[in-house]
Chain A
């Protein structure tokens, strides 16, 4: 309150305690409801506590070891921790994997969703596609990784990775990114599909009634209407990609530095990501440099938090989405 201003005596003073109407008290509830009430609060607060402690732990542990120099220096093999450098290569690897993964996943996820919702015939094929995406979503990443290893060691794919005359190693940014896209396709597909379902039929009819073909309607009306859903799905998919370790270790080699190999330069070379860097530097890996693992984990966590925040922001760009009401009702 600004004390310099004289108090306007004509205005009634605000009540010290805002009054509420009478409500039923917890005591008057049935026992079952009381237990549920307490359980709900306990579980909810417990989850919040876990999330907050993770963030606080890495804020404290990670930031205290985090030096700007760690972000910009290459890692190197050294017996002493002071000589082993930073994790620039791991950051580069994470960004590169995310980019390759999304580049593959977004077109596939969006086109699949458009086909299932806008065409979806024959019906049985649509159903098969839907369950296929569900199966991919439920497949553990290590299974995807080992499948990718088996696939890309085939001679036909040898140009994608470092290869010897005897065969391919199957490890490169391209092969890892391709398998990473399996992690991102389900969220992209699901978000796009839900957006398409929530887009009113009248909007498509309006376009047909103006003499547009189905494909022009999809391109000019339907896809613009769901671009926010696509962005949301992509961000969720990206978060899954940058958080994955198994595929990096099996298919990217988790090498210390980015290495150009094979026909396509660094794309067919090996490297590491923040996740594999954390694993290798943790006491579980060979590095035994927990402070660097913490610092890298803090960076990774920050990246994921920023992405999650970004998902929330995307939903608000450019006013309410066309199907906002449907969303609220659902």
Chain B
């Protein structure tokens, strides 16, 4: 489901009961009923996905991170901790800096010529600026909004990152178990096992996105960044990928940017709400959704602004 559409709907349907009496008495309302009122068709999956309890370990720590495009700050003084065993959802209206923050974590913002940043991002205690960019991006992998498989076979897509660029290219036989394992973890193996030499472009959108996840986790990264991974997908594929995210969080730290509040609620262990470049509030999902500390969070979750 598209989070943007949901946000627009929120604005277009002010007669819905959830905010008839203003945004204040939210905590008194049943959260699920409220989500129903916001977007009934988005709640056809369980409001909160079942999950295994996992001990959270801090992997990535942001200390006072600001990101600028030219002189314009896009992210202001964000401090945040990202833990393995947890899914962190970055939520907030369009243009609030969620994606910029996400792309800072693996230094993809450096591809934008006028982007710069201050503050520190520590990966297992090591400043990411001190790690060679290619190595950092192997450890902090990323899945994009649009499924973007390479125009090559399924096997080559997953094996892409495993094939070292400078040293001798590993043989296919050496890669096979790794590729199979990645496809299994991404829940795609059963569907594509028959012919791994098929072009990845012939897969469906949901399959392509799972292939991109398999590709991203094939090199066993420590962090997986996901930039609205489901916004281009139908509800069924979305459900499959959400289940997948919850399984993967046991071995990786996962950060998901999403426009879709219902999705954040379904999958996230912790939620960080950003607004105009500021990190307004970060906390446990249930707490942020049912009892936000900040007024802005409360209003955003109630759909006062999109």
B151 touches A322 (CB 8 A): yes
Q: How many angstroms between the C-alpha atoms of A221 and B150 in the bound complex?
A: 7
Q: Which of A210, A321, A322 contacts B137 (CB 8 A)?
A: A210
Shortest A224–chain B CB gap in Å is: 6
Q: Which of A207, A208, A211, A320 contacts B150 (CB 8 A)?
A: A207
Q: Which of B119-154 contact A (CB under 8 A)?
A: 133-138, 141-142, 144, 146, 148, 150-152
Q: Which of B264-279 contact A (CB under 8 A)?
A: none
State whether the Cβ of A319 lies closer than 8 Å to any Cβ in chain B. Answer: yes
A209 touches B160 (CB 8 A): no
Q: Which of B146, B151, B161, B202 contacts A210 (CB 8 A)?
A: B161
Shortest B119–chain A CB gap in Å is: 21
State whether the Cβ of A327 lies closer than 8 Å to any Cβ in chain B. Answer: no
B111 touches A208 (CB 8 A): yes
Q: Which of B108, B151, B152, B202 contacts A208 (CB 8 A)?
A: B108
Q: How many angstroms between the C-alpha atoms of A120 and B10 in the bound complex?
A: 45
User: Range of interface residues on chain B?
Assistant: 20 to 34
State whether the Cβ of B262 lies closer than 8 Å to any Cβ in chain A. Answer: no
State whether the Cβ of A206 lies closer than 8 Å to any Cβ in chain B. Answer: yes
Q: How many angstroms between the C-alpha atoms of A211 and B136 in the bound complex?
A: 7
**Complex interface bits, B207-250 against A, C-beta within 8 A gives 1, otherwise 0:** 00000100110010000000000000000000000000000000
A73-81, A165-173, A212-220, A249-257: which lies at the interface: A212-220
B150 touches A209 (CB 8 A): no
Q: Which residues of B contact A15 (CB under 8 A)?
A: none
State whether the Cβ of A283 lies closer than 8 Å to any Cβ in chain B. Answer: no
Q: How many angstroms between the C-alpha atoms of A207 and B142 in the bound complex?
A: 10
State whether the Cβ of A318 lies closer than 8 Å to any Cβ in chain B. Answer: yes
State whether the Cβ of A225 lies closer than 8 Å to any Cβ in chain B. Answer: yes
A216 touches B144 (CB 8 A): no
A224 touches B108 (CB 8 A): no
Q: Which residues of A contact B219 (CB under 8 A)?
A: 210-211
B148 touches A202 (CB 8 A): yes
Q: Which residues of A contact B160 (CB under 8 A)?
A: 207, 210, 212, 220-221
A203 touches B202 (CB 8 A): no
> Which chain B residue shows the least CB distance to A318?
B199
Q: How many angstroms between the C-alpha atoms of A221 and B215 in the bound complex?
A: 14
Q: Which residues of B contact A225 (CB under 8 A)?
A: 150-151
Q: Which of A192-210 contact B (CB under 8 A)?
A: 200, 202-203, 205-210
Q: How many angstroms between the C-alpha atoms of A122 and B150 in the bound complex?
A: 29
Q: How many angstroms between the C-alpha atoms of A208 and B137 in the bound complex?
A: 7
Q: Which of A258-278 contact B (CB under 8 A)?
A: none
B134 touches A209 (CB 8 A): no
**Complex interface bits, A292-330 against B, C-beta within 8 A gives 1, otherwise 0:** 000000000000000000000000001111100000000
Q: Which residues of B contact A203 (CB under 8 A)?
A: 148, 150-151
Q: How many angstroms between the C-alpha atoms of A220 and B165 in the bound complex?
A: 9
Shortest A30–chain B CB gap in Å is: 42
Q: How many angstroms between the C-alpha atoms of A319 and B199 in the bound complex?
A: 8
Q: Which residues of A contact B215 (CB under 8 A)?
A: 206, 210
> Which chain B residue shows the least CB distance to A206?
B148
State whether the Cβ of B201 lies closer than 8 Å to any Cβ in chain A. Answer: yes
Q: Which of B67-126 contact A (CB under 8 A)?
A: 106, 108, 111
Q: How many angstroms between the C-alpha atoms of A208 and B110 in the bound complex?
A: 11
Q: Which residues of A contact B134 (CB under 8 A)?
A: 211-213
Q: Which residues of A contact B201 (CB under 8 A)?
A: 319-320, 322
A–B Cβ pairs within 8 angstroms, 24 of them:
A202-B146, A202-B148, A203-B148, A203-B150, A205-B108, A205-B144, A207-B150, A207-B160, A208-B111, A209-B106, A210-B142, A210-B160, A210-B215, A211-B134, A211-B136, A211-B161, A213-B134, A220-B150, A220-B160, A225-B150, A319-B199, A319-B202, A320-B201, A322-B151
New contact pairs (14) apart from A209-B216, A212-B160, CB-CB < 8 Å? A200-B146, A205-B108, A205-B111, A205-B144, A206-B212, A207-B150, A209-B106, A209-B141, A210-B219, A211-B134, A211-B136, A212-B165, A322-B151, A322-B201
Residue ranges of A at the interface with B (Cβ–Cβ < 8 Å): 200, 202-203, 205-213, 216, 220-221, 224-225, 318-322
- The 10 A-B pairs of least Cβ separation, nearest first, read A211-B138, A209-B142, A211-B137, A216-B165, A210-B161, A322-B151, A202-B148, A211-B134, A206-B148, A225-B151
